[in-house]
């Protein structure tokens, strides 16, 4: 059967075509373009425009490039270009962002479309107040923004939730299609096909500057920026962060937009909502999230059911306004996550202070603030109990959670729609194999799992997961999966390649070479077996045999860039 080969060839050709075709965007006469960027920060390229083309074609080009692991991997290298600070990257910032992103990715309520990649991210040494997400779901974070936010997890989670929204809602592709860029691809695309190759092994030196600019596009229109603000709020809140972090972040952003001399101009007001308006919107979302009970007024006064509870004070690197929203966020989360007053589990401690709920860090600012005035904790307890009584009478939870519940329903419907697209399973398996070739086993596993979830009978998904398990050292389980994949379709060469990789990792080289032969003799032959056999012969010191296999691989895949340099030079 030829299905396996056709899937691979169609997918890779489509992705390579999309990336280089869209690179033609930049190969025409430049005209002025609006400066814009996700969350309002980074410089975007200027350039484009003379030839008209359908907007949906442009959108398709960006979507296809955004679903290409090699494009995403190139983004990782491109991020280093933004490391302009003359110092090493802040290791504390790297650790903090890693933890925040993992929590958002694993626990946030969002839908990753089938034609989107799993999120990747990188922190770079740059003093500017900046973060961004490109079309391939690659998030770049300047360590300067981490420092300027006082290393506050909740404020940074709001930024990253916003950036993730640009990714999973595919804002770049959609925004570009709505702008003048929809008139920018010309016949020069065919010439670009001859000059760019997005095969495994592609580096920045292989790409034209115009192609690199294409991959750097982060132009987002105003409605999508607002969507990212609101969706970002729910992503970070649902992942377990302090819902007050979004408003606190906008308060911090407001400071920087009002003091341009202290930070790079990170947004163009023509393309982004006014920061104070964004703060107001995030404060309203926080108010609703807390079932209408908490509100910040007069910069740092925290009101509970229209009654002044306390006035926030600065704490560490957070000013009074930011602390007000973080304290208010603790109240909001408490009401949102607990339907009954008894769930708060109030208790008076020996020192007279009041404890409640859990040890979740979200509640720490609130608990500390309540300790600053004698009897304030007990007063707060009484206010919470009274509020629950009123909520039952007013049906408040239904009223205030309306937007969130509607969003959850839309996400459920979108997940179901994506899950029913069985035909996307092949593309996800191709992505998984590409990630494997890039050495990104964790991401490969995610794509193979997505492939298997879409179609449990796809042998490529099963053989891919087998390869991943082999890389993890789980050889018995890996061989079992590989054998099951072969049994599902003995004619599929990629399954033999998967088992050959496992045997190679086990040190059973004869069995690996035997499976390479089977992969090439299968009706749906997989020519990567040449590359694998070359690697094995090279490891054995049989250079002539290795060269012969690499030559066959080069002939079968002229654009391949993963042949060892010492052999590639002899193939010229």
Task: Please tell me the distance from the alpha carbon of residue 487 to that of residue 497, in angstroms, as a whole number.
Answer: 14
Domains, the chain, ranges and CATH? 11-226 (no CATH), 242-402 (no CATH), 419-571 (1.25.40.10)
pLDDT at 276: 86
Task: Please tell me the distance from the alpha carbon of residue 463 to that of residue 425, in angstroms, as a whole number.
Answer: 13
Task: Please tell me the distance from the alpha carbon of residue 526 to that of residue 483, in angstroms, as a whole number.
Answer: 17
Task: Please tell me the distance from the alpha carbon of residue 155 to that of residue 200, in angstroms, as a whole number.
Answer: 37
The terminus-to-terminus CA distance of the chain in angstroms comes to: 33
Q: How far is CA 443 from the centre of its chain?
A: 12
Compute φ and ψ for 307, nearest 5 degrees: -120, 130
CB 362 within 8 A of CB 242: yes
Task: Please tell me the distance from the alpha carbon of residue 32 to that of residue 45, in angstroms, as a whole number.
Answer: 10
* Closest residue by Cα to residue 191 from 175, 211, 176: 211
524: β partners: 492
Task: Please tell me the distance from the alpha carbon of residue 431 to that of residue 239, in angstroms, as a whole number.
Answer: 27
* Closest residue by Cα to residue 368 from 292, 314, 287: 314
Characterize 318-331 residue by residue with b for buried, 16 or more Cβ atoms within 10 angstroms of its Cβ, and e for exposed: bbebbbbbbbbbbb
CB 479 within 8 A of CB 466: yes
Write the burial class of residue 487 (CB in 10 Å: 0-12 exposed, 13-18 middle, 19+ buried). Answer: exposed
Q: Any idea what the Cα angle at residue 189 is, between residues 186 and 191, rounded to 5°?
A: 125
Residue by residue, pLDDT tens for the chain (572 residues) are: 333 333 333 444 444 444 333 333 322 222 233 333 433 333 333 333 333 345 677 778 788 889 999 989 998 888 988 999 999 999 999 999 999 999 999 999 999 999 999 999 999 999 999 999 999 999 999 999 999 999 999 999 999 999 999 999 999 888 776 664 444 433 333 333 334 444 444 454 555 555 555 555 555 678 889 999 999 999 999 999 999 999 999 999 987 777 654 444 344 444 455 788 999 999 999 999 999 999 999 999 999 999 999 999 999 999 999 999 999 999 999 999 999 999 999 999 999 999 999 999 999 999 999 999 999 999 999 999 999 999 999 999 999 999 999 999 999 999 999 999 999 999 999 999 999 999 999 999 999 999 999 999 999 999 999 999 999 999 999 999 999 999 999 999 999 999 999 999 999 999 999 999 999 999 999 999 999 999 999 999 999 999 999 999 999 999 888 999 999 999 87
pLDDT at 257: 74
Task: Please tell me the distance from the alpha carbon of residue 295 to that of residue 307, in angstroms, as a whole number.
Answer: 10
Task: Please tell me the distance from the alpha carbon of residue 28 to that of residue 210, in angstroms, as a whole number.
Answer: 10
pLDDT at 519: 98
Cβ-proximal residues to 342 (8 Å cutoff; 6+ apart), any chain: none
Q: How far is CA 251 from CA 147, 246, 319, 361, 449, in A?
A: 16, 9, 9, 21, 40
pLDDT at 232: 98
DSSP labels for 439-508? T-HHHHHHHHHHHHHH-TT-HHHHHHHHHHHHHTT-HHHHHHHHHHHHHH-TTBHHHHHHHHHHHHHHT-
Task: Please tell me the distance from the alpha carbon of residue 175 to that of residue 161, in angstroms, as a whole number.
Answer: 19
User: What's the per-residue H, E or C state across 345-404?
Assistant: CCEECCCCCEECCCCCHHHHHHHHHHCCCCCHHHHHHHHHHHHHHHHHHHCHHHHHCHHH
Task: Please tell me the distance from the alpha carbon of residue 546 to that of residue 207, in angstroms, as a whole number.
Answer: 29
CB 232 within 8 A of CB 158: yes
* Closest residue by Cα to residue 294 from 363, 367, 244: 244
* Residues 351/354/356/361 CA torsion (nearest 10 deg): -70
Q: How far is CA 18 from the centre of its chain?
A: 21
* Closest residue by Cα to residue 62 from 193, 170, 220, 197: 170
Q: Any idea what the Cα angle at residue 503 is, between residues 501 and 508, rounded to 5°?
A: 135
* Closest residue by Cα to residue 220 from 156, 166, 276: 166
């Amino acid at each position: 059967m030829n299905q396996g080969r056709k899937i691979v060839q169609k997918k890779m050709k489509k992705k390579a075509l999309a990336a280089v075709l869209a690179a033609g965007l930049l190969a025409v006469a430049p005209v002025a373009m609006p400066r814009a960027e996700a969350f309002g920060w980074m410089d975007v390229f200027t350039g484009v425009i003379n030839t008209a083309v359908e907007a949906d074609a442009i959108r398709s080009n960006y979507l296809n490039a955004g679903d290409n692991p090699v494009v995403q991997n190139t983004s990782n290298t491109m991020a280093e270009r933004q490391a302009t600070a003359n110092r090493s990257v802040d290791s504390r910032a790297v650790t903090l962002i890693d933890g925040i992103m993992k929590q958002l990715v694993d626990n946030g309520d969002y839908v990753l479309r089938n034609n989107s990649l799993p999120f990747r991210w990188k922190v770079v040494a740059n003093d500017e107040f900046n973060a961004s997400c490109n079309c391939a779901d690659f998030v770049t974070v300047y360590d300067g923004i981490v420092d300027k936010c006082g290393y506050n997890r909740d404020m940074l989670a709001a930024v990253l939730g916003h950036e993730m929204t640009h990714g999973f809602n595919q804002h770049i592709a959609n925004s570009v299609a709505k702008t003048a860029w929809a008139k920018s691809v010309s016949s020069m695309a065919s010439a670009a096909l001859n000059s760019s190759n997005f095969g495994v092994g592609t580096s920045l030196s292989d790409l034209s500057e115009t192609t690199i600019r294409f991959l750097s596009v982060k132009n987002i229109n105003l409605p999508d920026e607002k969507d990212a603000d609101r969706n970002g709020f729910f992503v970070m809140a649902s992942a377990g962060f302090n819902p007050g972090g979004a408003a606190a972040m906008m308060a911090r952003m407001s400071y920087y937009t009002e003091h341009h001399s202290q930070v790079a101009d990170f947004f163009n007001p023509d393309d982004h909502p006014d920061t104070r308006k964004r703060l107001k919107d995030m404060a309203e979302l926080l108010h609703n999230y807390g079932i209408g009970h908490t509100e910040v007024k007069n910069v740092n006064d925290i009101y509970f059911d229209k009654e002044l509870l306390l006035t926030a004070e600065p704490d560490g690197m957070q000013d009074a306004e930011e602390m007000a929203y973080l304290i208010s966020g603790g109240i909001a989360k408490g009401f949102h996550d607990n339907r009954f007053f008894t769930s708060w589990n109030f208790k008076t401690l020996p020192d007279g202070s009041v404890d409640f709920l859990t040890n979740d860090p979200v509640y720490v600012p609130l608990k500390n603030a309540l300790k600053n005035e004698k009897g304030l904790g007990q007063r707060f307890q009484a206010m919470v109990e009274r509020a629950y009584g009123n909520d039952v009478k007013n049906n408040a939870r239904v009223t205030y959670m309306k937007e969130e519940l509607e969003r959850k329903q839309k996400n459920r419907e979108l997940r179901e729609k994506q899950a029913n697209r069985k035909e996307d399973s092949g593309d996800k398996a191709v992505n998984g194999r590409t990630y494997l070739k890039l050495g990104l086993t964790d991401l490969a596993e995610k794509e193979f799992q997505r492939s298997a979830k879409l179609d449990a009978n796809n042998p490529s998904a099963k053989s891919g997961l087998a390869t991943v398990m082999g890389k993890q050292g789980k050889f018995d389980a890996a061989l079992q999966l590989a054998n099951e994949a072969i049994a599902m379709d003995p004619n599929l060469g990629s399954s033999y390649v998967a088992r050959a990789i496992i045997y190679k990792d086990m040190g059973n080289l004869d069995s690996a070479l035997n499976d390479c032969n089977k992969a090439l003799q299968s009706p749906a032959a997989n020519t990567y077996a040449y590359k694998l056999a070359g690697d094995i012969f090279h490891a054995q010191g049989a250079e002539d045999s290795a060269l012969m296999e690499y030559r066959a691989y080069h002939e079968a895949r002229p654009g391949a860039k993963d042949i060892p340099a010492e052999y590639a030079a002899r193939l010229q």
